[in-house]
Amino acid sequence: QRMRIDVVSIFPSYFDGLTLSLLGKARESGILDLRIHDLRDWTSDRHRTVDDTPYGGGAGMVMKPEPWALALDDLAAGSDRPTIIFPSPAGEVFHQTTARELSEREHLIIGCGRYEGIDERVFEYAASLGEVRLVSLGDYVLNGGEVAAMAMIEAVGRLIPGVVGNPDSLVEESHEDGLLEYPSYTKPSTWRDRAVPGVLLSGNHAAIAAWRREQQLARTESRRPDLLKD
**Annotated binding residue 58:** no
Cβ closest to ligand 6GU, residue 9 vs residue 136: 136
- The one-letter code for the residue type at 198 is G
**Residue in 134, 144, 103 with CA at minimum distance from that of residue 10:** 144
Cβ closest to ligand 6GU, residue 6 vs residue 179: 6
**Annotated binding residue 75:** no
**Annotated binding residue 38:** no
**Annotated binding residue 142:** yes
Q: Interface with ligand 6GU by CB under 6 A: which residues? A: 87-89, 136-138, 140-142, 144-145, 148
- The one-letter code for the residue type at 212 is R
Q: What is the closest distance, in whole angstroms, from the C-beta atom of residue 141 to ligand 6GU in the complex?
A: 5
Q: What is the closest distance, in whole angstroms, from the C-beta atom of residue 52 to ligand 6GU in the complex?
A: 19
Q: What is the closest distance, in whole angstroms, from the C-beta atom of residue 18 to ligand 6GU in the complex?
A: 17
Contact 34, 5 (CB under 8 A): yes
Q: What is the closest distance, in whole angstroms, from the C-beta atom of residue 81 to ligand 6GU in the complex?
A: 22
Cβ closest to ligand 6GU, residue 109 vs residue 179: 109
The DSSP element (H or E) to which 121 belongs, if any, is helix 121-126
Instruction: For CA atoms 146, 70, 123, 58, give the dihedral sign.
Output: positive
Cβ closest to ligand 6GU, residue 103 vs residue 136: 136
**Annotated binding residue 108:** no
**Annotated binding residue 139:** yes
- Please spell the DSSP secondary structure of 59-119, one letter per residue: SS-EE-HHHHHHHHHHHHTTSSS-EEEEEEEEEEEP-HHHHHHHHT-SEEEEE---TT-B-
Cβ closest to ligand 6GU, residue 132 vs residue 179: 132
| Helical pair 146-157 and 21-29, crossing angle rounded to 10 deg | 70
73 Cβ contact partners less than 8 Å away, ≥ 6 residues apart = 129
- Please spell the DSSP secondary structure of 156-175, one letter per residue: HHTTSTTSSS-THHHHTSTT
Q: What is the closest distance, in whole angstroms, from the C-beta atom of residue 117 to ligand 6GU in the complex?
A: 9
**Annotated binding residue 182:** no
Residues annotated within a binding site: 113, 137-142
Residues annotated within a binding site for S-adenosyl-L-methionine: 113, 137-142
